[in-house]
């Protein structure tokens, strides 16, 4: 697939995401020779930088990557430009239009444009509107908008934002990004399910007893307190990344691999999902917040002591919950979802636990559970493993579990690209398969509405459970599973 000549315009070019993820991803695409030679990156933000200042800032931020390949950078950097733009100022947007025409002539980018909104979420709607009003979205074949998460704050605001965005262009011009969908291992869930025949017959309530979806991080809030205090783990991770992993794990097989067929199935499964107890959500959701921890030599501050965080903050940095998917495939199978910052290990995975053998003929050598498990390792150690029972060597007939493993690293050698590399390329290719459609994003917000309302109206019913940094989260989250006779996986 070949990316057509074009100009990528990044709004929010002075922000964190641009130098941490977007420009490195574009540089990677450049090194892989996947960018067309007629390509330009136009950074836009309010700061009055020149092209050279922007190039200098990016060079500073990418110093270690550049050192590995100075020659490639020297070529790439000539494709970087900058224009001071405040999207709230109509005259700035008119000036942007003129600058884009100049760039088109300079770089032969032929009026083909991808606009990336990496600005504060409160400007997503007005940003799209400003581009549409300036006539920059009127050609659906040659203009598209990428919108970062979070898309809305709840069901109502996501619907309202969708209305605005759709009034600015067609759905196929809008690319709502979720970088988890850019991960090879998340895409691999589809390949594993739909390119093999052995999984599909058992991928349902008859064989699977429960599903666990985890995204555990060791980092804390870092320098993002301002954003995180208004978001919390539910909005930051669960509504998007974890819900997308759930959708791909639970969706029905699509008839074709095309954007609409895939997204129809994802939207359908999210519409069938619900909290395990919608009437009394406190029975199925635990919120936590990290306290201090770490070792004597390397102590870690608690969330409330982090710079920029309210010392009485009740923002959750951990969420665990139980969901059901009310359809024929999954009726009655619990989906346990958890995420947290400052946990014991960095680990994202999907674990399918199968029903136990109906009759236990053999004693378990380990005394542990004997259910089969399929573990889809999203990161790190990208791969998968299947756990099953084998005969424990020696006299007698005792069984013990072993793991059959597939590792991306061992099988393919080269490290996979970062999610943003794949997604930026796909957006520039106008391929929306790995982007969230409006109905999906709304279904995802609707799913968590009972929780968001409860947190808003009567937060004491969903109290914050403190947990020590570098542990596996609050004990209350263990109790959530213990009530069902289960344990969280702690590899
Ligand atoms: C982002 C969140 O979307 O995902 C961050 O805003 C989080 O808070 C990050 O740290 C996790 O992404 P990854 O790819 O490191 O698992």
Look up the ipTM and state it: 0.99
At residue 183, the 3 state secondary structure works out as coil
Report the separation in Å between the CA atom of 241 and the middle of ligand 1, taken as the mean of its atom positions.
Answer: 8
Task: For residue 351, count other CB atoms closer than 10 A to its CB.
Answer: 21
What are the phi and psi torsion angles at 4 (to 5°)?
A: -75, 155
CB of residue 16 inside a 6 A radius of ligand 1 = no
CB-count burial class (<10 Å; 0-12, 13-18, 19+) for 355 = middle
The length of the chain, given as a count of residues: 491
Q: Are 343 and 216 in contact (CB under 8 A)?
A: yes
| Confidence at 45, pLDDT banded by 50, 70, 90 | very high
Strands (E), 217-342: 273-275, 285-294, 299-300, 318-325, 335-340
CB of residue 217 inside a 6 A radius of ligand 1 = yes
Q: Are 371 and 356 in contact (CB under 8 A)?
A: yes
Tens-digit pLDDT profile for residues 385-423: 999 999 999 988 999 999 999 999 999 988 788 899 999
Question: Which residue among 237, 240, 350 is best mutated to probe the pocket of ligand 1, counting the most ligand atoms within 8 A of its Cβ?
Answer: 237
Say how far residue 132 (Cα) sits from the centre of its chain: 28
- Which 8-state DSSP code applies to residue 417? P
Contacts of 250 (CB under 8 A, 6+ apart): 211, 269, 273, 325, 329, 330, 335
CA-proximal residue: ligand 1, atom 6 (nearest):
236
Q: Give the pLDDT confidence score for residue 368 in this predicted structure.
A: 65
Burial 304-327 (b: 16+ CB within 10 A, else e): bebeebeeebbbbbbbbbbbbbeb
Helices (H), 62-183: 63-68, 70-77, 90-107, 124-133, 155-168
Say how far residue 105 (Cα) sits from the centre of its chain: 36
CA-proximal residue: ligand 1, atom 2 (nearest):
236
Report the separation in Å between the CA atom of 318 and the middle of ligand 1, taken as the mean of its atom positions.
Answer: 13
What torsion do the CA atoms of 489, 230, 16, 141 make, to the nearest 10 degrees? Answer: 90
Compute the distance between CA of residue 212 and CA of residue 385 in angstroms, rounded to an integer. 14
Distances (CA, A) of 438 to 18, 128, 136, 431: 25, 15, 21, 15
Angle between helices 124-133 and 155-168 (to 10 degrees): 10
Select from 175, 57, 179 the least CA-distant residue to 117. 175
In the numeric block, which tokens belong to residue 103?
A: 């760039």
Report the separation in Å between the CA atom of 339 and the middle of ligand 1, taken as the mean of its atom positions.
Answer: 10
Q: Give the pLDDT confidence score for residue 365 in this predicted structure.
A: 77
| Ligand 1 atom closest to the CA of 241, numbered from 1 | 3
Read off the pLDDT of each residue in 97-123 and give the average, rounded to a whole number: 96
Select from 171, 183, 245, 252 the least CA-distant residue to 432. 171
Q: Give the pLDDT confidence score for residue 40 in this predicted structure.
A: 97
CA-proximal residue: ligand 1, atom 13 (nearest):
180
Q: Following DSSP, what letter does each residue of 4-50 receive, concatenated? A: PSEEEEEETTTSHHIIIIIHHHHHHHHHTT-S-SSEEEEEEESS---
| Confidence at 369, pLDDT banded by 50, 70, 90 | low
Read off the pLDDT of each residue in 331-346 and give the average, rounded to a whole number: 98
Residues within the annotated binding site for NADP(+)? 46, 86-87, 149
- Rounded to a whole number of angstroms, the CA Rg of the chain reads 24
Tens-digit pLDDT profile for residues 184-219: 999 999 999 999 999 999 999 999 999 999 999 999
Residues within the annotated binding site for substrate? 179, 183, 217, 236, 341
CA atoms within 13 A on the CB side of 46: 6
Compute the distance between CA of residue 240 and CA of residue 441 in angstroms, rounded to an integer. 8
Q: Give the pLDDT confidence score for residue 364 in this predicted structure.
A: 81
Compute the distance between CA of residue 269 and CA of residue 204 in angstroms, rounded to an integer. 13
Report the separation in Å between the CA atom of 179 and the middle of ligand 1, taken as the mean of its atom positions.
Answer: 8
Q: Give the pLDDT confidence score for residue 414 in this predicted structure.
A: 81
Q: Give the pLDDT confidence score for residue 233 in this predicted structure.
A: 97
- Run of H or E residues at 143: strand 143-147
Helices (H), 62-89: 63-68, 70-77
Question: Which residue among 120, 217, 232, 242 is best mutated to probe the pocket of ligand 1, counting the most ligand atoms within 8 A of its Cβ?
Answer: 217
241: annotated active-site residue: yes
CB of residue 439 inside a 6 A radius of ligand 1 = no
Please say if the pLDDT value at position 96 is more than 80.
yes
CA-based angle 155:156:162, to the nearest 5? 90
Contacts of 276 (CB under 8 A, 6+ apart): 283, 284, 321, 322, 323, 324, 334
CB of residue 236 inside a 6 A radius of ligand 1 = yes
| Ligand 1 atom closest to the CA of 346, numbered from 1 | 16
Please say if the pLDDT value at position 363 is more than 90.
no
Conformational region of residue 174, where left means phi above 0, alpha means psi within -120 to 50, and beta covers everything else:
beta
| Confidence at 460, pLDDT banded by 50, 70, 90 | very high
Distances (CA, A) of 338 to 39, 251, 287, 290, 386: 41, 20, 10, 14, 21
Report the separation in Å between the CA atom of 116 and the middle of ligand 1, taken as the mean of its atom positions.
Answer: 19
Contacts of 256 (CB under 8 A, 6+ apart): none
Query: Which one of the listed residues 19, 241, 296, 360 is annotated catalytic?
Result: 241
Read off the pLDDT of each residue in 279-305 and give the average, rounded to a whole number: 94
Tens-digit pLDDT profile for residues 247-282: 999 999 999 999 999 999 999 999 999 999 999 999
- Which 8-state DSSP code applies to residue 461? G
Read off the pLDDT of each residue in 55-71 and give the average, rounded to a whole number: 95
């Amino acid at each position: 697939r070949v990316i057509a000549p074009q100009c990528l315009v990044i709004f929010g070019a002075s922000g964190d995401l641009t130098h941490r993820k977007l420009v490195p991803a574009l540089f990677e695409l450049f090194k892989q020779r996947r960018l067309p030679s007629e390509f330009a990156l136009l950074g836009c933000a309010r700061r009055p930088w020149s092209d050279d200042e922007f190039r200098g800032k990016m060079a500073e931020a990418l110093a270690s990557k550049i050192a590995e390949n100075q020659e490639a950078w020297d070529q790439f950097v000539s494709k970087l430009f900058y224009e001071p733009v405040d999207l709230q100022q109509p005259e700035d947007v008119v000036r942007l239009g003129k600058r884009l025409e100049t760039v088109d002539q300079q770089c032969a980018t032929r009026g083909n444009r991808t606009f990336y909104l990496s600005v504060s979420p409160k400007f997503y709607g007005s940003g799209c509107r400003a581009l549409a009003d300036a006539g920059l979205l009127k050609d659906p074949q040659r203009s598209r908008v990428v919108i970062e998460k979070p898309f809305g704050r709840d069901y109502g605001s996501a619907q309202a934002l969708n209305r605005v965005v759709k009034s600015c262009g067609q759905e196929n011009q809008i690319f709502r990004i979720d970088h988890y969908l850019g991960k090879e291992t998340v895409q691999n869930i589809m390949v594993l399910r739909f390119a093999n025949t052995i999984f599909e017959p058992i991928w349902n309530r008859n064989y699977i007893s429960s599903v666990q979806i985890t995204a555990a991080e060791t980092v804390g809030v870092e320098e993002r307190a301002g954003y995180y205090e208004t978001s919390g783990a539910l909005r930051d991770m669960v509504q998007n990344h974890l819900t997308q992993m759930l959708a791909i794990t639970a969706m029905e097989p699509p008839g074709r691999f095309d954007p609409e067929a895939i997204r129809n199935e994802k939207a359908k499964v999210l519409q069938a999902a619900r909290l395990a107890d919608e009437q009394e959500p406190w029975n199925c959701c635990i919120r936590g917040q990290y306290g201090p921890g770490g070792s004597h030599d390397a102590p870690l501050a608690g969330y409330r002591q982090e710079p920029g965080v309210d010392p009485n903050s009740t923002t959750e940095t951990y969420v665990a919950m139980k969901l059901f998917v009310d359809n024929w495939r999954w009726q009655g199978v619990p989906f346990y979802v958890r995420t947290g910052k400052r946990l014991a290990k960095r680990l994202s995975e999907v674990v399918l636990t199968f029903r136990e053998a109906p009759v236990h003929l053999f004693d378990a050598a380990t005394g542990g559970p004997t259910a089969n498990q399929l573990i889809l390792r999203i990161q790190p150690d990208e791969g998968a493993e299947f756990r099953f029972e084998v005969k424990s060597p020696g006299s007698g007939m005792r069984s013990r579990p072993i793991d059959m493993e597939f590792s991306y690293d061992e099988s393919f050698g080269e490290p996979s690209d970062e999610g943003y590399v794949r997604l930026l390329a796909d957006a520039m290719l106008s391929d929306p398969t790995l982007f969230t459609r409006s109905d999906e994003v709304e279904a995802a917000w609707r799913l968590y509405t009972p929780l968001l309302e409860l947190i808003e109206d009567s937060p004491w019913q969903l109290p914050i459970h403190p947990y020590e940094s570098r542990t596996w989260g609050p004990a209350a989250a263990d109790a959530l599973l213990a009530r069902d006779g289960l344990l969280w996986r702690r590899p």
